[in-house]
Structure 1
Amino acid sequence: MEIALLALVVMGFIVLNAVLRVERRVSQLQAQQAELIRHLGLVPDTEPSFEVRALARDPKRRIEAIKLYRRQSGAELRDARQVVDGLVGRG
């Protein structure tokens, strides 16, 4: 029984690690996409992502939300700050 529990815990850590790596890669791809959009002069989707919204709800992670929004949208600092501030009000 203890071996089964230990195996389950180890598998949980393996799955968690895999999920974190995928999230990190998705974030990198989003940043690359935003850079390509800026480079091509296309109009980016300025609707904040779910991740930006989640970060904006946590007052301690507001700066992270602003940075992520800038990376995803190509917005200037002032504009990104206004968007994140607006999200805090909307929830």
Structure 2
Amino acid sequence: MKELTTQTGIIVKCRKTAIEFFQNAQSADSFSALKIPKEFQGIAVEFYDLILENDHLAALLGCRGNDDIAIQIDEVTGTMTGWHWFK
């Protein structure tokens, strides 16, 4: 499992089927979880990493075929704000 702490102190954990968001390191329960978006369920395999892309949180989603998807995430709400393909 990959884990990242954002600039605002939110802990983000990457699991195979969801990205979970915690208020801080002591939080036992997540305040939000982003599952694989419906539009990608036919091609997506699993989340495999978290990155900061131009200072914005992104989750990497492995897909069938040659390309994967980077999903940009709003760290405060735990929702997808955009996405793009990459190799």
Higher RCO (CA < 8 A, seq sep 6+): 1
Query: Which structure has greater strand proportion?
Result: 2
Larger Rg, first or second structure (1 or 2): 1
Instruction: Judge same fold: TM > 0.5, yes or no.
Output: no
TM-score by length of 1: 0.23
